[in-house]
Amino acid sequence: MAAHVAAMSPGTNIGAAHPVAMGGGEMDKVMMAKVENDAVAYIKSIAEKHGRNAKWAEDAVRKSVSVTEKEALELGVIDFVAADLNELLAAIDGREVETATGKVVLKTKDAHIQHIPMTWRFEFLKVLSDPNIAYILMTIGTIGIIAELYSPGMILPGVVGAVSLILAFYSFQTLPINYAGLLLMMLGVILLILEMQMFSYGLLSIGGIAAMTLGSVMLMSGGAEFQQVSLSVIFPVVLVFAGFIMLITGLAVKSFRRRPVTGAEALVGMTALAKTDLNLEGWVWLNGERWQATSDVPIQAGQEADVKAVKGLRLLVTQHQEAKERDSWT
């Protein structure tokens, strides 16, 4: 309505200009009346300025009326219907329009068309505003932080995770975030992390996956369809995240079950050689070192003994397993 030349393509429509609240919320009656009257006054002023149908413009705001391109042309809402840009330029050639500096005659026949694309900065911001990208960035960030906490000092997962989370939160500024969905996702992450510590036989994992899935569906449910995360993105991402947590959990379980390889605990289970007779106490060789040892059974010099525990600088040993089996047969 505010353009010097108003045109529409075939198969399009115009109208339904009733004001709505950002994010899909509702305004109270007083505020709605104020906003509606302001919008009506503004659209009528620009319609009258350009000689267009001010009554229809008011109805478009108050009644949300909408018309096709042919109806808009008949009602005096637009000036032309053109199939493409070249047809439009040919139609408006020689048309006189009123500008701030006076009347101007348009000379658009055979005009050179120069397309100006978005800069890389705006292209980047456009990508970030995609709800699917924001959701994936948040998941990558969470995985990176968890990986860094699981294995401190790797640096790369932590850096990638922190950057991804910052970009995700930046994207959330332009999207209608549902905080209940965000809290459900956080609960799901916490449950999956607890699975790494408590080993609930999968109950926490099931609860975490369910909470993450529900939270993901609700995360941007308040906006238009193009502002919502696609289900084709949610399910693979949740499964990948759950798989990552299960992998970390499996590695943690394996490390807990693995015998220590350093320190005094690493000596437990090793086989020592009795250097002297062990009548409750004596000396043994282990890994090229001479240790004082205490045994629960007599062990002769030259016999092997299994290390049961380490108490300070003293080994607690018992008769070697093979020797026990031989004694049991004799």
Average pLDDT of the segment spanning 179-187: 89
Q: Is there a domain that residue 16 lies in?
A: yes
Residues with Cβ within 8 Å of residue 207, at least 6 apart in sequence? 188, 191
- CA dist 55 to 10, 46, 47, 61, Å? 24, 12, 9, 10
**pLDDT tops 80 at residue 248:** no
Residue 112 lies in a domain: no
Contacts 24+ apart (CB under 8 A), 138-146: 138/164, 138/165, 138/168, 138/185, 139/237, 139/240, 139/241, 140/164, 141/165, 141/166, 141/167, 141/168, 142/189, 142/241, 143/241, 143/244, 146/193, 146/244, 146/245, 146/248
3-state secondary structure of 223: coil
- The CATH number of the domain holding residue 271 is 2.40.50.140
Most confident option among 50-54, 147-151, 239-243, 276-280 = 50-54
Are 149 and 195 a contacting pair, CB within 8 Å? no
pLDDT bucket at 189, cuts 50 / 70 / 90: confident
**250 and 278, same structural domain?**
no
**12 and 82 both lie in a single domain:** yes
Best-predicted range by mean pLDDT (52-61, 119-128, 256-265): 52-61
At residue 256, does pLDDT exceed 70? Answer: no
Which of 239, 257, 275 is the last residue in one of the domains? Answer: 257
Tokens of 178: 């549902």
- Both 45 and 21 in one domain: the answer is yes
Q: Are residues 61 and 166 in the same domain?
A: no
User: Which H or E element spans position 198?
Assistant: helix 179-198
pLDDT of residue 182: 87
Residues 223 and 312 in one domain: no
Share of the chain above pLDDT 90, in %: 33
Residue 330 counted as domain residue: no
What is the helix (H) or strand (E) element at residue 285, kind and residue range? strand 281-286
Q: What pLDDT score was predicted for residue 150?
A: 76
223-243 tens-digit pLDDT:
667 778 888 898 898 888 888
Same domain assignment for residues 158 and 248: yes
Q: Is 311 helix (H, G, I), strand (E, B) or coil?
A: strand
Counting beta carbons within 10 angstroms of the beta carbon of residue 77, is it exposed (0 to 12), middle (13 to 18) or buried (19 or more)?
A: buried
Per residue in 71-95, pLDDT tens?
999 999 999 999 999 899 999 999 9
37: domain CATH number is 3.90.226.10
Chain centroid, CA 67 distance in Å: 40
59 compared with 311, residue with greater pLDDT:
59
> Which contacts of 255-264 are long-range, i.e. CB under 8 A and separated by 24 or more positions?
264/310
Name the least confident of 111-115, 251-255, 323-327: 323-327
Q: Is residue 124 domain-shared with residue 252, that is, in the same domain?
A: yes
Name the pLDDT band for 178 (thresholds 50, 70, 90): confident
pLDDT at 183 over 50: yes
Residue-number span of the structural domain to which 301 is assigned: 264-322
Mean pLDDT, range 131-144, rounded to an integer:
91
Return the percentage of the chain with pLDDT > 70, whole number: 91
Lowest mean pLDDT of 147-151, 176-180, 199-203, 282-286, name the range: 199-203
Residue 146 lies in a domain: yes
Count of beta carbons in the 10 Å neighbourhood of residue 164: 20
Q: Single out the residue in 232, 257, 282 at which a domain terminates.
A: 257
| Count of domains observed in the chain | 3
Shared domain check, 285 and 161: no
Is position 111 within any domain? Answer: no
Whether the pLDDT of residue 144 is over 70: the answer is yes
pLDDT of residue 22: 67
**Would you call 175 helix, strand, or coil by DSSP?**
coil
Backbone angles phi, psi at 96, to 5 degrees: -100, 130
Confidence of residue 329 (pLDDT cuts 50, 70, 90): very low
Q: Cβ–Cβ contacts within 10 Å for residue 266, how many?
A: 14
DSSP character at residue 75: T
Picking from 216, 212, 224, the residue whose alpha carbon sits closest to that of residue 176 is 224
In this structure, the answer to whether residues 131 and 252 fall within a common structural domain is yes
Q: How confident is the model at residue 121 (pLDDT cuts 50, 70, 90)?
A: very high
* Cβ-Cβ contacts under 8 Å for 277 (sequence gap 6 or more): 298, 299, 300, 301
Residue 218 has pLDDT above 50, yes or no: yes
Domain assignment present for 272: yes
**Domain annotation covers residue 110:** no
Per-residue confidence band for 323, with pLDDT thresholds at 50, 70 and 90: low
- Tokens representing 286? 């282990």
Cβ contacts of residue 168 below 8 Å, gap of 6+?
Answer: 134, 135, 137, 138, 141
pLDDT reported for residue 40: 95
Asked whether residue 279 is domain-assigned, the answer is yes
